[in-house]
Structure 1
């Protein structure tokens, strides 16, 4: 599925996990008082998947002029029916003020609804909001909880963020072995070359601080956690 904004933007951070970066430089649509009306000649659909597809067309400018305000309208309709992907994207629009008023608390609300349905991107972004106290109370343990849930699905961004949290002792006691493990897994599972490079760089920087026995233990944990790790570990050595 295409995305309009990178899920959490954490792979570029080389220090402690940071809030998501601003969206790409696209023109924002002004939020107007008049409500959005359904398109002429288009029968309103009650199917949330169809509503989400319509929202994606406007968000991405596929076959129509890009219009985040109309995207938000259709995302809201699908979100009201519990469609997790729309709840996640609506959270993004609320977080960045694209097509709707910027509202971090509202973003957190939609992220939470999607996160409770297992949407890993929403789990990461909700974790970042808690980590930075944006729209929700600052709570590193709550941040860790949501990042763990996304990491359990093999999400490379969550694995990377979890590695940073263990490295820096945020929400959890600092643990170099655990940090090395999660950063190694992030490097293995990242599909994007830049993301993979960032995770590998962070992992290698940490490697110099590990004793030989700590490194062996970390490598054992990597192989234990991921079935393919034993075959792929050489890729990030």
Structure 2
């Protein structure tokens, strides 16, 4: 509530206390404050450090943010393979945004060769997880694929969802 009211100093104090106690959402919130510089000195390395603490507890939002940081090279070295790994972990927690990022990376060949089947698979996963806009990407990818490739991508998406999402 303090954050929403613009009392960033109070919010940082609350988040820090909970974060130091191991609370993953608070670690992520404190990381967000360092990332943006809301009420505290902007420090992307400290943001990454707090995100890592939460991500190690399998907290999806922190894993997503680490993926974004590695993708952009902010606060950490730019490394597409590392970004993809964090996006995969975040996707396993049910975050459709992570699946969209993976679809983009495979479609563009970032960190791996272009793989339209994998890109389509991740767009399917994102759509199944509730990211409706991913259906547009899926349809666009489908125009570049054979019907067998589309079927393969759909099967891989169903298999992945069955293995990782309840």
Q: What TM bracket, shorter-length normalisation? A: over 0.9
Q: Which residue of 1 aligns with 2:13?
A: 73
In the alignment, structure 1 segments of 5+ residues that lack a partner are: 1-56, 228-237
Could you say which structure has the higher helix fraction? 2
**Aligned residue number for residue 14 of structure 1:** none
What is residue 217 of structure 1 aligned with on the other side?
152
- Aligned with 1:59: secondary structure? coil
2:92 paired with 1:148:
no
2-side partners of 1:184 and 1:103: how far apart?
A: 35
RMSD: 1.2
TM-score of the aligned structures, taking structure 1 as reference length? 0.66
Specify which of 94, 101, 104 is matched with residue 41 of structure 2. Answer: 101
Structure 2 contact 19–26 (Cα < 8 Å) conserved? yes
1:38 is matched with none
Aligned to 1:166: 106
Give the C-alpha shift of residue 176 in structure 1. Answer: 0.3
Cα distance in 1 between the residues matched to 2:73 and 2:160: 31
Q: How many residues align?
A: 162
Does the CA-based 8 Å contact 2:59-2:93 persist in structure 1? Answer: no
Q: Which whole-Å CA distance do the structure 2 matches of 1:86 and 1:97 have between them? A: 16
Measured against aligned partners, the alpha-carbon deviations of 1:103-146 in whole angstroms (never above 9, x if no partner) come to 11111111111111111111011111111111111111111111
One of 199, 217, 220 as aligned partner of 2:134: 199
Name 1:59's counterpart in structure 2. Answer: 3
**Alpha-carbon separation, structure 1, partners of 2:83 and 2:2:** 31
CA deviations over 1:36-94 (Å, ceiling 9, x no partner):
xxxxxxxxxxxxxxxxxxxxx21123xxxx31221011101111111111000011111
Q: Which runs of 4+ in 1 moved over 6 A?
A: none
Max radius of gyration: which structure? 1
- Select which of 82, 106, 126 maps to 1:186: 126
**Counterpart of 2:114 in 1: which secondary structure?**
coil
* Gapped regions of structure 2 (runs ≥ 5): none
Residue aligning to 1:51: none
Q: Distance in 1 between matches of 2:161 and 2:79?
A: 29
